[in-house]
Amino acid sequence: MAVEWAGLGPELLVTIDRESGAGLRSQLEDQLRDAIRGGRLAGGERLPSSRELGRALGLSRGLVQDCYAQLQAEGYLTSRPGSATRVAPVVRPAGPPEARTPERPRYEVADFRHGVPDLRLAPREDWAWAVREACRTAPNSAFDYGDPIGDRRLREVLAAYLRRVRAVAATADQVVVCSGMAQALGLVLRALAAGGIGTIAVEDPGMVRSTTEQADVAGLATVPVPVDDHGVDVAALDRSGARAVLVTPAHQWPTGVVLAGHRRQELLAWARRHDGVVIEDDYDAEFRYDRDPVGSVQGLDPDRVVSLGTVSKSLAPALRLGWLVAPARLLAAVAHGKRVTDRGSPGLDQLALALLIESGRYDRHLRRARAEYAARRETLVAALATHAPGLRVTGLAAGFHAVLHLPPGADEEQVISRAAERGVGLYGLARLHSTPSATAPRLVLGFGDTSRHSIEAGIAAVADLLSGVE
């Protein structure tokens, strides 16, 4: 699809060499032909008017008109009275395939994709207000290169927010603003490798594959450690030989269990015993329903725990804003990594986020979102009780996904495939294990970006598949 440039004279890079001896018109024709043949000018793209291009190049309008007429006669350009001159559709030899992310399947009835918030709830008006306020009130210095680890004001606001809401032991000096959770984790892994740690443990099931990819880049080995009803198995962690571990203690991804109090103490004792580091991913702690808030593990031992956070779940993934709270032993290496990676996250967006939190609009948005997710959770529970009674549902205390335990012997992949034929997107928990063949059949049902109507329709459409009574 051609880009439609606004304005009367879209700029076009053409150079005219008056000392070359070549005719001015032939130079212009040759360069326009080459640009069209090479794909620099796409089919349907509008060219500058003859008056504007002549003025820009110091040529007469008549010369440019003659050039356009010649290229039109050759089939390179098209023109209609009263309309701009455009590039004609040109068939070119096929080049190498374009590298792109495969498109996500579309499901007509319901998509129970997990890990994504309701994109319709993104607080567009509040964010637009915050960006306008940031632009209006920011000093000129805010438009310069800022501190690579983040704007000081945002780091102060985040430290205060995390102390208040998550019981994190943080000061602004410990906070590093990142471009989402992925960058935060990558910075920590590289800092660990620089400090002599060679292996990181990952909860199993959990973020085994994505963490392994990042660890490979950082030069770390990964080892899976099982999770039970009390959270990560610290005894297995002790046997793994790892000196770092990535955990999701407030709402384990994906099982939803909470790291028990005694396991927290065992985990911190492990870190002290092995001079290790705990990386705490606080990915959806804002969304709690029927239990008391769970404080951060970092608050129990700030010297041994790195806390990661993001607004991807609370606001929108597109904002690409997150943070980490680092202990003193890692702070210099993390700050260096951030500086050499991108010299800092977008400054105006950081100011906007600080304003959003300080103004109370962030908390207000969370209350609205929490109420909506709670309603969807109840809709999911009711739909399953109606259409798949007797099946166990877990992981519902927080976040916006649930784990559905299929009947023993059910073929998880077959259920997913048959559901897709009916326009319902289902996702298996086996894919989140390091050894899928050894797992009981379970589904991860996300309801963050799935409406209440779609939840009811989707469960009804696959009821027989879930219960194994087709």
Q: For 139-195, what is each residue's pLDDT tens digit? A: 999 999 999 999 999 999 999 999 998 999 999 999 999 999 999 999 999 999 999
Output the pLDDT for position 437.
66
Phi-psi group of 151: left, alpha or beta (phi > 0 → left; psi -120 to 50 → alpha; rest → beta): beta
Give the pLDDT confidence of 236-293 residue by residue, as tens digits: 999 999 999 999 998 899 998 999 999 999 999 999 999 999 999 987 777 877 666 7
d(CA 369, CA 288): 11
Quick one: average pLDDT of 297-311? 96
Identify whether residues 148 and 276 lie together within a single domain: yes
Output the pLDDT for position 52.
87
Identify whether residues 264 and 215 lie together within a single domain: yes
Residue by residue, DSSP assigns 105-119 as P--SSEE---S---G
Least confident span in 11-25, 255-269, 299-313, 390-404: 11-25
Give the pLDDT confidence of 39-77 residue by residue, as tens digits: 888 888 888 888 888 888 888 999 989 998 999 998 999
Proportion of the chain above pLDDT 90, given as a percent: 70
Give the pLDDT confidence of 337-360 residue by residue, as tens digits: 999 999 999 999 999 999 999 999
Output the pLDDT for position 121.
94
* Mean pLDDT for the chain overall: 90
Residue 227, classed as helix, strand or coil, is strand
Identify whether residues 220 and 351 lie together within a single domain: yes
Say whether pLDDT at 218 is over 60. Answer: yes
Identify whether residues 136 and 49 lie together within a single domain: no
- The CA distances from residue 462 to 70, 137, 421, 455, 466, in Å, are 63, 53, 10, 11, 6
Output the pLDDT for position 355.
97
Where a domain ends, among 304, 336, 359? 359
Number of folded domains that form the chain: 3
Quick one: average pLDDT of 115-136? 95
Identify whether residues 179 and 281 lie together within a single domain: yes
Output the pLDDT for position 91.
53
Q: Which residue has the tokens 């973020």?
A: 207
Say whether pLDDT at 3 is over 70. Answer: no
Quick one: average pLDDT of 84-91? 80
**Greater pLDDT, 216 or 24:** 216
Give the pLDDT confidence of 357-382 residue by residue, as tens digits: 999 999 999 999 999 999 999 999 99
Where a domain ends, among 100, 130, 165? 100
Classify residue 37: in a domain, yes or no.
yes
Classify residue 105: in a domain, yes or no.
no
Identify whether residues 245 and 390 lie together within a single domain: no
Identify whether residues 145 and 192 lie together within a single domain: yes
CATH code for the domain of 177 = 3.40.640.10
d(CA 117, CA 110): 15
Output the pLDDT for position 1.
46
Among residues 403, 419, 317, the alpha carbon closest in space to that of 108 is found at 419
Length of the chain: 470
d(CA 96, CA 212): 30
The answer to whether the beta carbons of residues 393 and 405 sit under 8 Å apart is: yes
Residue 38, classed as helix, strand or coil, is coil
